Amino acid sequence: MGQISYDFTDETVIVTGATSGIGRAVARRFGDAGATVIVADIREEPKEKAESAPTAELIEDGGGRATFVETDVSSPTEIVSVIEAAREFGGVDVMVNNAGIYRHASLLETDVESFDQVFGINVRGVFAGCRAAARDMLSREDPGSIINTASISSEYAQTGHAMYDASKGAVMMLTRVAALELASHDIRVNAVAPGIIETTFGSGNPEPERHVDDQFIHDEMEIPEVSGRERDPVIPMGRMGSPEEMAGSYLFLAADDASYVTGHLLYADGGYQIV
């Protein structure tokens, strides 16, 4: 089968959550395609021992240009700082808002701190990334492309996924509204919706800080078993996806090949959403 080869020479691409997993594969693919890549993550060292070198180092070792900027996407100020860092390389051309976390709990068991943490990273992070990148592109009069990482969870509910599915539904709608508002400025906004991908997703996330005492009510309560339908993950292609299999969708949406594509949710899920 053929492979598309992209050329992002002279383009600056920010990828959040690019130290591990999907973001790392996306960053590397942009690096291979000649882009200057800014790896924006809370940690520089990958979670996986097997993922030896930091992403920026790997890209540079392969002859590309990359730098790491420590960034917590839940902080809009830190997002603005990473956008400013891109100005050193001519300004952001492609913004990939990919960082995200997962927490498992039924609605009845979900505590407010965990909910706020998931929304702080998965939703506020994407909102702040879209806003900061678009403001910067407009101020430089140099429109580009924004790509968010949504999920099959954007449209498919599962028990235990109250926080996560709601956050990814929000990412889908943020993508659509941003696409609508920015279309006349030639800024395209799209999302990739990965299926079940082999990463260390869900592990190694920091615990949320506890401020609100809703745990008290929680402890006093008898929490009934959740009786909803646990959807078995049916993947028509019969296997999980790899981070590398996600990367091409991001490059396509960023490239001129997708010049008339905006507000789109591109599933890369082995057919999960069909059944």
Q: Does 17 bind ligand NAD (CB under 6 A)?
A: yes
- Tell me: does residue 51 bind ligand NAD (CB under 6 A): no
Number of residues that bind ligand NAD (CB under 6 A): 27
User: Which of 156, 164, 267, 272 does the annotation list as catalytic?
Assistant: 164
Q: What binding mask, one character per residue, do residues 99-138 give for ligand NAD by CB under 6 A, x or -?
A: xxx-------------------x-----------------
Rounded to 5 degrees, what are φ and ψ at 267? -75, 130
Which residue in 35, 43, 42, 128 sits closest to 86, CA to CA?
A: 35
Residues forming a β-bridge with 37: 13, 66
Is the alpha carbon torsion for 17, 25, 145, 32 positive or negative?
A: positive
Q: By three-state DSSP, how is residue 226 classified?
A: coil
Q: Which stretch binds ligand NAD (CB under 6 A): 18-26, 129-137, 224-232, 249-257?
A: 18-26
Q: What is the CA radius of gyration of the chain?
A: 19
Per CB under 6 A, 57 contacts ligand NAD: no
54 binds ligand NAD (CB under 6 A): no
Min dist. Cβ of residue 104 to ligand NAD (A): 13
- Shortest spacing between CB 235 and ligand NAD, in angstroms: 11
Q: How many CA atoms lie within 13 A of 110 on its CB side?
A: 21
Angle at 38 between CA 17 and CA 182, to 5 degrees: 80
Select from 30, 127, 201, 272 the one that contacts ligand NAD (CB under 6 A).
Answer: 201
Q: Which residue numbers are catalytic?
A: 164
